[in-house]
Amino acid sequence: MFFKPYMRSLAVAASLAVLAGCSSTGGTQDGSMDGTGAAGGVGTGTAGSGQVSGTGMGGNGAGQMASTGIPDVRTIYFDYDSDTIRSEFESVVNAHASYLAGNPNARVILQGHTDERGTREYNLALGERRAGAVQRYLSLRGVSPSQVEVVSYGEERPAVRGSNEDSFAQNRRVVFAY
Amino acid sequence: MRTLINIWTNKGRTRMPAARFMATCLGLVALLVMPMAQAELTIDITRGNERATPIAVVPFAGEGLPTDVAQVVSDDLGRSGYFDPLPRSSMFAKPTSSEEVKFGEWRSLDTRYLVVGSATQQGGQVSIRYELMDVNGESRLLGETVTSSTNDLRRAGHYIADQIFEEITGIRGAFSTRLAYVTSQGVGDNTQYSLYVADSDGHNSQQVLTSDEPIMSPAWSPDAGKLAYVSFESKRPAIYVQNLASGQRAKLTDFEGLNSAPVWSPDGRRLAMALSRDGNPEIYVMDIASRGLQRVTNSSSIETEPDWSPDGQSLIFTSDRSGGPQIYRQSVSGGSAERLTRTGNYNARGRLSPDGKSLFLIHRGNNGFQVAKQDLQSGRLVEISNAQQAESPSVAPNGTMVIFATQQGGTGVLGAVTADGRAQFRLPSAQGDVREPAWSPFLN
């Protein structure tokens, strides 16, 4: 996986209204103070405020090909302080939704992760909130709740090491584990 | 099974009866049969305290001991932040008993207190006689003989440091206590997680558990005989309780969702914890014997990171019901929650001081995440650490120090800071990331 997580403004603008509704429990604050000094914890995320409906299904994501098998792309990334699914990953989540809806015996574990900033146990709860947002999205797309389990790892299983924004961005993720 | 150490005193004060102390040692014997540790911690002072009391711990007489007991004593006292031990290279004389002491020499070095001693070996046993003197008053404050086996001399040193610390400060020493902490090595799917216990100075570490799935949140039982922790070994978080002496353990909770942040009630009968079995993380209390669960909080936000008040009547916890994480207090029996923290927009993972008057927590301010102390009466909050991404504060049982997790050069290390923030130390590990320190209660 090698996503470049810098499409923030685009992501903010393009969040689907349905997702904004889903994340009404609030933000997913991993902690703030990124190394470049954005003090105050406002962050760049959308944190559940109402969003204008965006650009629709975002193109030919790799996942869209995979209606017959488990989609290849199994990790999506999140903005800082956010549990909103970014527009560039909607196609990925849609592909998983299609696969799960079409294969009622398939099961997936949504593994929620945060970056390392902030306290561990609070981050464990934030990782659950992030994975829960994906779970609700799948449910709205017709996936049975019995097919989906949420397990948060918080900051305990970073994908990469490093205390910089690049590493943080790669660690803020939800993994579809089949 | 034989005891490793046997301490007796030749003075009237018997705050630590030998029988109870031996009972503690029996637990240690069982621990020693477990796999030896890889992660030894060594102390490294990062910020001193200019108001620390000058003390000199002269090397003890006696040849061929495997441990330099006087150095253990001196290091303990220095690490407390209350004392500034005189380096050995600055000592003119090396007296080994009070009769040999010329007080004028020590006054000229501005030494306030002086510790001298000697050790004699008989078979596998060592007798250490030590004396504490007030240099200005030219008087002896303590004189005691401690007996130890040769392979447990560090423990004897910690005991001596405890006696000296209490004699001078009036505060019970906490050097003869232990730490639990978690290490991780590797990254991604190849990460190995381990749970260790070690002496309060990081020595004598022993592995309690190792797993290729995360281990979190170690918490000591009030009798220091058991640890509760979270392990993902079943691919989901579950709360376990493990007896340190026998290694026997039980899975306490395995609910859907979060099973996290266990902490023992002061009476040892209950565990507070955070569970999301009812949808979102809430604080629960479990009666350990019956496994009966009582839900304490009820909100649509995150509630986690509980800690008990010393009287066992109320809990503090982190909640983001106001938007960001703040610390609240609520009676165990229910009622409404009272918000405790109001400085800044990130206050989490609170731990109460043993007297219940102060709250130690992780606060995010202009210096990033730091350990802070809030006086619960005045509400005033001050940062006491100066560290990178401080996490997981844990208070010594005598309330004088807080150990926490921090980062150094991209690696997780443990830091410790005096409760007033005047002195700070770092405990680098030999390998891997070290985090989530938990300071044990007193061992007797």
Angle at which helices A120-140 and A90-102 pack, to 10 degrees? 60
Provide, as residue numbers in chain B, all residues whose Cβ is less than 8 Å from the Cβ of A28. Answer: none
Residues B202 and B59 in one domain: no
Residue B80 tokens read as: 């407390």
The reply to whether A125 touches chain B by the CB within 8 Å rule is yes
pLDDT at B44: 65
**What is the least distance, in Å, from the CA of A59 to any CA of chain B?**
30
CB count within 10 Å of CB B362 equals 31
Residues B229 and B338 in one domain: yes
Q: ipTM of this complex > 0.85?
A: yes
Residues B143 and B95 in one domain: yes
The reply to whether B211 touches chain A by the CB within 8 Å rule is no
pLDDT in tens, B161-199: 999 999 999 999 999 999 999 999 987 778 999 999 999
Whether residue A122 and residue B349 make contact (CB cut-off 8 A), yes or no, is yes
pLDDT at B190: 86
Strand order in the sheet with B215-220: B215-220, B226-231, B238-243, B249-253
Lowest pLDDT segment from A131-135, A137-141, B261-265, B412-416: B412-416
pLDDT at B428: 65
Whether residue B320 and residue A26 make contact (CB cut-off 8 A), yes or no, is yes
Rounded distance, CA A115 to CA A44, Å? 14
Structural domain span for residue B164: 18-169
Estimate to the nearest angstrom the gap between the alpha carbon of A14 and the chain centroid: 14
Residues 6+ apart with CB under 8 A from A60: A91
Q: List the CATH number of the domain containing B364.
A: 2.120.10.30
Of B169, B200, B217, the domain-final residue: B169
Counting residues of chain A whose pLDDT is more than 70, the rounded percentage is 62
pLDDT at B187: 79
Residues B131 and B274 in one domain: no
Q: Within the 224-263 window of chain B, which residues sit less than 8 Å (CB to CB) from chain A?
A: 232, 235-237, 256-258, 260-261
Find the closest chain A residue to B190 by CA distance. A157
Residue with tokens 């302080």: A81
Q: Is residue B208 helix, strand or coil?
A: strand
Residue ranges in chain B whose pLDDT is less than 70: 1-46, 428-431
Rounded distance, CA B303 to CA B362, Å? 16
Residue with tokens 């982190």: B318
Residues B213 and B287 in one domain: yes
Q: Is residue B206 helix, strand or coil?
A: strand
Of B136, B169, B202, the domain-final residue: B169
Rounded distance, CA A75 to CA A103, Å? 20
Residues B271 and B288 in one domain: yes
pLDDT at B41: 55
Give me the DSSP letters along B96-162.
-SGGG--HHHHHHTT-SEEEEEEEEEETTEEEEEEEEEETTTTEEEEEEEEEEEGGGHHHHHHHHHH
Residue B385 lies in a domain: yes
Residues B235 and B365 in one domain: yes
Lowest pLDDT segment from A81-90, A147-156, B14-23, B261-270: B14-23
First to last CA, chain A: 17
The reply to whether A136 touches chain B by the CB within 8 Å rule is no
Amino acid of residue B326: Q
Residues B225 and B285 in one domain: yes
What mean pLDDT value characterizes chain A?
74
Rounded distance, CA B206 to CA B141, Å? 36
pLDDT at B189: 79
pLDDT in tens, A53-76: 333 333 344 444 444 799 999 999
The reply to whether A76 touches chain B by the CB within 8 Å rule is no
Residues B136 and B267 in one domain: no
Q: Are B55 and B111 in contact (CB under 8 A)?
A: yes
Residues A138/A140/A141/A147 CA torsion (nearest 10 deg): 40
Give me the DSSP letters along B271-326.
EEEEE-TTSS-EEEEEETTT--EEE----SS-EEEEEE-TTSSEEEEEE-TTSS-E
Whether residue A122 and residue B436 make contact (CB cut-off 8 A), yes or no, is no
Residue B4 lies in a domain: no
Residue B3 lies in a domain: no
Domains of chain A: 8-177 (3.30.1330.60)
* Residue A104, CA distances (Å) to A130, A138, B76 in order: 24, 13, 62
Query: Residue B304 is nearest to which of A25, A121, A153, comparing CB atoms?
Result: A121
Residue with tokens 């501005």: B110
pLDDT at B43: 59
* Best A107, A114, A120 residue to mutate vs chain B (most B CBs within 10 Å): A120
The reply to whether A35 touches chain B by the CB within 8 Å rule is no
Rounded distance, CA B151 to CA B22, Å? 15
pLDDT in tens, A3-52: 333 333 333 333 333 343 333 344 455 544 333 333 333 333 333 333 33
- Domain count along chain B: 2
Residues 6+ apart with CB under 8 A from B94: B58, B59
Provide, as residue numbers in chain B, all residues whose Cβ is less than 8 Å from the Cβ of A159. Answer: 187-188
